Structure 1
Amino acid sequence: MKFLYSDTQDYVDPQYDFLTDSSPANRERYWHDQYAHEIMDQAPYDGLLISMSAIRKADGVAASKVRYSTAEEQRLLREGARRFLRFGGPKYRDLMLMGDCGAFAYVEHPEPAYKPDDVVEFYLDAEVTHGVSPDHIIFACDAANPPVSDVPEDIRRRYEITLENARVFRKLVRKEGDDFEPIGPVQGWSPKSMAEAAAALVKMGYDYLAIGGLVPLKVPAIKEVLQAIRAKVGMRPKLHLLGFAKADHIGEFTGYGITSFDSTSPLIRAFKDKESNYYLDNGRGGLDYYTAIRVPQAWENARLMRGVKRGLFDAEDLKMREERTLRTLREYDQKKRSAEETLDAVMDYSQFLVRGDGSGATAQDKALASMRERVQRTLEDRPWKSCSCAICRTAGVEVIIFRGSNRNKRRGFHNLGVYHRHVQKTLEKK
């Protein structure tokens, strides 16, 4: 089972100065920064997934979803994605480079943003190893397996569009000499309809299927879908799980013949999860999760500045507390401060993030008590000291500090590495 990471132009500045929170004056983001597979000792995934909607503007795709400039898109297609992502050469040549259309970006649109011939041309130019036909997401999965006559017209149309696109796409790829492995996307409104879609794709000549629409589903529902598909098409076709949001449960899916899955969860949780920001192997076959310690830049944090404008906080006082918190954390890392002293310093500053949120005093006190408990665990366990990855070796305590992209994405890269090893260990046990 291969773990793929979906590229979203995530890289960090290897020369970033944590003490001054600054990059070299001559830094150019793409050219001087490094992707996770460059800054880590080894790639923290088995391959990359690139989405057409993140690279190419199109009708129906919100501008906020496009991560590439026009110049970057042109260079990627001119050079090939491996060279653009610096994911080529002997070190990475055996790792997968999958393409899909990024259907989330046009989910509200009545039609997919890209036609099969455009997608095939894009994949050929990008030089992907595997490419998913343009699909249209269906987010309704009813375990009761309602008949097609009871299904809304929009859902039926998405189902038909996905299959018709796959039919055209397969012919086009064959005509181009099968330069990449085509993958048929499975969409449906129920386990039964998804199984029937899978059977139709296999009949078209697909040996690799990508199961879509899984993001909102809970683990039992995903298992029902996979059971129905395997019962219909057997174990021969390879399966990929698109946008698998339940990555922490991957050990429960080893019996379904999953070939690959993609997830951004380990990186995203580094800075979007309220509690589980730092991953660590617990030595018992699972993962432990720690809360990163929030030390925002006082004069740049929107919530703190709103409090200043409302007269609740003093800007100079906030800056003093910010600097004291950072200094105390670094001294704690050097064993010059106790955990209790450090916890008090952290909470003395963090309280303002809660006090300015507009909720009542009781709710604020409850939130602060919960935060103190989680931060105390992080400080006492010192998880960054237990990890020998390239990020933790070089960044040290900075990796556990929730502050700015260069720290937060480093923590995300660390999480990818921990998660990748977790997947490998899980498979070794089966």
Structure 2
Amino acid sequence: MKFYVPEWEDAVDARYDFVHDELSNLDKQERERHFIWDIFDYETTPIDGVLISREQVEDSQRKYDRVTEHGVYDDPQLTIPDWLPTISDCGAWGYKSLPFPRYGNDDMLEFYEALDVTVGVTIDHLVLGSGKEKGRLYLDKHAFHPDFTESDLPEELTEQVDIMVDEWPAEWPDLVERYDDSIYGVSAVKPFTHKDFEGSVQGVLQRMDRDPRAVYREDDKQDRYEMTLENAAEIRELYDNGDWSFHLMAAFQGWNPTTYGEALDEVLEMGYQYVGIGGVAGSQLKQVEEIVTEVGHRITEFESEHETRIDTHVFGFAKTDGFETVGRAQMSSIDSASMLRAAWTGGNNYHLNPDERFDAIRVRYPKPGDSLEIAVKKSMLGQEVLHALRAFDDEDSISRRTRGWYAEADLVLDALVDYLEEHRHDEIYDARLLRKITSEFRDDFEYGCELQASFSDDLRKQLVKLLRVDDADDPVDFDEYIEIINTGREVAEEFPRTADRVEALEEKSGEMATFKQVWTVLENYAVSDLVDDQNLLEGYRKTLRSRPWDRCDCPICEDLGIEVAIFRGNNRNRRRGFHNTYRFYQQFKRDLPKILIVAPADSSLFGRNTVEGYLTDMYGELWDAVHDIPVAEIGVLDANGVHEWWEPGPSSVSLDPSGISEELERKAGRYDTILYYDPDGEARFDIDSVEIVEDPQEVRGRTLERLGYDSDPVPSRDIQIQLGEF
């Protein structure tokens, strides 16, 4: 089974300066960005693939142009390695409040081809429930205006009808004409007036029925369900008549196990061998369990009847307590970003395992709108606690570290006055862009980074703004610089706030970096009027006493230590999200061991329509024994790699023995077990986790044993287990 992570621009600055909270380059385009696959190596990367939604790609025109020009594997920003498969979908969550998908089938095929993804997904429309008796009414947001807003809709209407308002596309795809030609090809809409919504609810709905600004459906759930299936049928025909480089997955929707099962039956009859369960993201696991169990039974029946294999993806699923059911129910892949997002939403945002989750310690930046004095004070409070936390992590003297920080900060302002007197009219400050001047200033002034860290980005920005307008022929009054600097001096007189108390504790105990010592600093910070986080202290106490980062073997924790457990900005928070994903993936592999079943290739694999056909012809007994096994991946091996069962035969086949051995050893780095089928007993491999098996039934037996499954693993339809979220 494979775990995919959605691609939502989750990148960090590869050379971020944690001590000074400085980006490596103020120009985003010039930074070296690291995604999760850049931070981990091949063997430890905690994902098996990347899900790329068109809605996300189109968030930025620059990104859209870039990835459609280069493809996701050659894109200079994404840097996705070619060994990670990619799935791309339309991003139905992004247009769930529109009456129709915003894309057409021809358009999506071309998009997937341009992206060069491994798998493209059919266009689906989320099946949304509604408790309103008269159905759902969609309204074009463009028709609202200051004199008639959503709040002006009559209460009688909103009580009886589910109203969904969104900005409709300037141009609907061609398929919309088939469903509602009244909104298709409309270049502009008239604004709504109160008269449009006068009268009875039924009268309003009748008027809206052919209105280019509205779509009304009495049974919207059924319409969305059928629309999803019709798109799957239409795009399948287009796909079969074209020459596409990607595999096509059918997304299907429903609102209970039966409707999901019936939708599955339809897409299987269309010829799909990779299907995706949509619309379950955010659902309770008990509901997901019932759906995947029904789907799993129908897939098992289909596989048995047709002697083939069906792979199934569950969109938006990441609940570890459900792995048992999902594995047994024949699911092949899942995706989620929930453990990544958890790093900066709510509490318990540092995950060690499902039973041990901790609050990251919030060290806050100044807020926009803070006065300069408040911004400086918040920065200095933050720096004092940050230096204390690092000393605690290093088991060093906290009082010495905080005094050392203050001594350096104290030097900054004196040095700044001297620097500005000498250099404020230098040519490097003639640029018009503040970003350019800021970069020059922080690089040229010896303490440019420390100035921002200790005295706030606000103070540095005010100085930079003066530098931009300060001209030798028309100089700024130097007192304006001094006034800004003096604000920093006045605040600095209050610091260091806790060094004496911590030093007394150090002398009394004869120990350094104890919990009591670091707690003195952190508590002083959290209860201060400018922070007011005393309600979080109990969580912080648990975090500091447990030191979970010391018990994690991920490269982020090993490299950064306590920084991963500090809630502060993208470059810490997203790295913590990568860490959470790694911890999730460790349990994913424990509960659903990564197993690969491979058979050797020969020259007849070349040019086959599918690898499945090759396995059926050359290793029929093996295929009969394993094609319906859940969780495990199945393919054929040559020196170019593993060709999965659903792929077309490769354009070349290499039988070089050393190359085959090297590729097998490489694959072994990412799998718990590789079962190499060798009916003739000729293979000679001495590779950890690679087992050579001659009997097809033994391959099946060993796989099920590794998974802890019996010979009939699919769970009973009436199983009801109360399961929790990761």
Tell me if TM exceeds 0.5: yes
1:73 is aligned to 2:64: yes
Give, in whole Å, the separation in 1 of the partners of 2:261 and 2:110.
29
In the alignment, which residue of structure 2 is the partner of 1:322?
A: 382
Letter in structure 1 aligned against 2:549: W
Q: Does 1:277 align with 2:342?
A: no
Shift of 1:421: 2.2
CA distance in 2, matches of 1:278, 1:35: 19
**Match status 1:415 vs 2:580:** yes
Structure 1 residues 358-380: Cα deviation after superposition (integer angstroms, max 9, x where no partner): xxxxxxxxx845x2221111111
Q: 5+ unaligned residues in a row in structure 2: which ranges?
A: 132-216, 304-309, 397-512, 594-705, 708-726
In structure 2, give the amino acid aligned to 1:255.
R
Whole-angstrom CA distance in 2 between matches of 1:249 and 1:271: 24
| CA distance in 2: counterparts of 1:50 and 1:419, whole angstroms | 20
Tell me the equivalent position of 1:98: 87
3-state SS, counterpart of residue 4 of structure 2:
strand
After superposition, the Cα gap between the structure-2 partners of 1:165 and 1:247, relative to the gap in structure 1 and judged at 3 Å, is farther
Name the structure, 1 or 2, with higher relative contact order (CA <8 Å, separation 6+): 1
Deviation, structure 1 residue 25: 3.8
Q: Which residue of 2 aligns with 1:300?
A: 367
- The alpha carbon displacement at 1:224 in A equals 1.1
TM-aligned CA deviation for residue 245 of structure 1: 4.9
Which of 80, 103, 112 is equivalent to 1:114? 103
Q: Secondary structure of the residue that 1:258 maps to in structure 2?
A: coil
- Tell me, yes or no, if structure 1 residue 290 matches structure 2 residue 358: yes
Tell me, in whole angstroms, the C-alpha distance in 2 between the residues paired with 1:173 and 1:276: 45
Matched, 1:194 2:260: yes
Distance 1:266 1:175 in 2: 40
**TM-score normalized with structure 1 length:** 0.82
Please tell me the residue identity of whatever aligns with 1:242: F
- Equivalent residues in 2 for 1:115-194 (5 A)? 115-140=104-129, 152-194=218-260
CA gap of 1:392–1:140, structure 2 versus 1, over 3 A, is same
Q: Distance in 2 between matches of 1:292 and 1:250?
A: 27
Q: Which amino acid aligns with 2:37?
A: H
Shift of 1:156: 1.1
Between the aligned partners of 1:256 and 1:29, the Cα distance in structure 2 is 45
Q: Does 1:388 align with 2:553?
A: yes
Indicate how the Cα distance of structure 1 residues 100 and 278 shifts in structure 2: closer, same or farther if over 3 A, else same.
same
Q: Look up the SS of the partner of 1:234 in the other structure.
A: helix
Distance 1:354 1:211 in 2: 48
Are 1:6 and 1:50, in contact at CA under 8 Å, matched by a contact in 2? yes
The whole-number CA distance in structure 1 between the counterparts of 2:325 and 2:297 is 18
TM-score (norm 2): 0.50
Select 1:250's aligned residue among 314, 323, 337: 323
In the TM superposition, residue 249 of structure 1 has moved relative to its aligned partner by: 3.9
SS of the residue 1:280 aligns to: strand
Number of residue pairs matched by the alignment: 383
1:346 to 508, 516, 522: 522
Contact preservation (8 Å) 1:77, 1:125: yes
Give the superposition deviation at 1:381: 1.3
Matches of 2:380 and 2:242, distance apart in 1: 63
Displacement of 1:113 after TM fit?
1.1
Is the Cα–Cα contact under 8 Å of residues 141 and 190 in structure 1 kept in the other structure?
no
Q: Secondary structure at the match of 1:345?
A: helix
How far did 1:401 drift?
0.5
Match for 1:123: what amino acid?
Y
Match of 2:80 in 1: 87
What is the rounded CA distance, in whole Å, between the counterparts of 1:353 and 1:243 in structure 2?
Answer: 41
Q: Distance in 1 between matches of 2:281 and 2:530?
A: 31
Q: Which residue of 1 aligns with 2:164?
A: none
Q: Percent identity?
A: 32
SS in 2 for 1:81: coil
Instruction: Flag the 1:352–1:262 CA change in 2: closer, same or farther, 3 A.
Output: farther
Q: Is the 8 A contact 1:271 1:277 kept in 2?
A: yes
What CA deviation, in whole Å up to 9, does each residue of 1:98-130 have, x standing for no partner?
A: 011110000000000111111111001111111
Kindly indicate whether the alpha-carbon contact (under 8 Å) linking 1:251 and 1:423 is maintained by their aligned counterparts in 2.
no
Residue number in structure 2 paired with 1:148:
none
Distance 1:24 1:233 in 2: 51
Q: Please report how far the alpha carbon of residue 152 of structure 1 lies from its aligned counterpart in structure 2 after TM superposition.
A: 5.0
Distance 1:26 1:319 in 2: 20
| Whole-angstrom CA distance in 2 between matches of 1:259 and 1:401 | 36
Contact preservation (8 Å) 1:244, 1:263: yes
Deviation at 1:339, TM superposition (A): 1.3
Task: Read off the aligned partner of 2:334 and give its amino acid letter.
Answer: F
Tell me, yes or no, if structure 1 residue 239 matches structure 2 residue 312: yes
Cα distance change of structure 1 residues 29 and 264 upon mapping to structure 2, 3 Å threshold? farther
Query: Is the 2:364–2:378 contact (alpha carbons within 8 Å) kept by the matching residues of 1?
Result: no
Deviations 1:244-270 (CA, angstroms, capped at 9, x unpaired): 153564344221111001100111001
Q: 1:108 to 1:375 in 2, by over 3 A?
A: same
> What amino acid sits opposite 1:104 in the alignment?
W
What is the CA deviation profile of residues 299-334 of structure 1, one whole-angstrom value per residue up to 9, with x for unaligned ones?
2378xx4xx79xxx9555433322221111011111
From 44, 47, 50, the counterpart of 1:48 = 50
Instruction: State whether residues 254 and 427 of structure 1, in contact with CA within 8 Å, keep that contact through their aligned partners in structure 2.
Output: yes
Pairwise CA distance, 1:24: 2.6
Give the counterpart of 1:399 among 564, 568, 572.
564
Change (3 A) 1:72 1:417: same
Secondary structure at 1:206 match in 2: coil
Aligned pair in 2 of structure 1 residues 271, 229: CA closer, same or farther (>3 Å)?
same
- Could you tell me which of 331, 334, 345 is aligned with 1:261? 334
Instruction: Please state how far the C-alpha of 1:216 moved relative to its aligned partner.
Output: 3.2
The residue aligned with 2:18 is: 18
**2:349 maps to amino acid:** N
- For the residue of structure 2 that corresponds to 1:183, the secondary structure is strand
Q: 1:244 to 1:166 in 2, by over 3 A?
A: same
Give the aligned CA root-mean-square deviation in angstroms: 2.5
Cα distance in 1 for residues equivalent to 2:92 and 2:527:
40
Q: Which has the larger radius of gyration?
A: 2
Distance 1:223 1:73 in 2: 36
Contact 1:243 1:261 in 2 (8 A): yes
Distance 1:182 1:197 in 2: 17
User: Which whole-Å CA distance do the structure 1 matches of 2:389 and 2:567 have between them?
Assistant: 12
Residues 210-257 of structure 1 show CA distances to partners (whole Å, capped at 9, x for unaligned) of 111112321111111112223334364221011115356434422111
Residues 26 and 97 of structure 1, relative CA distance in 2, 3 Å threshold: same
Q: Does the Cα contact within 8 Å between 1:343 and 1:372 map onto a contact in 2?
A: no
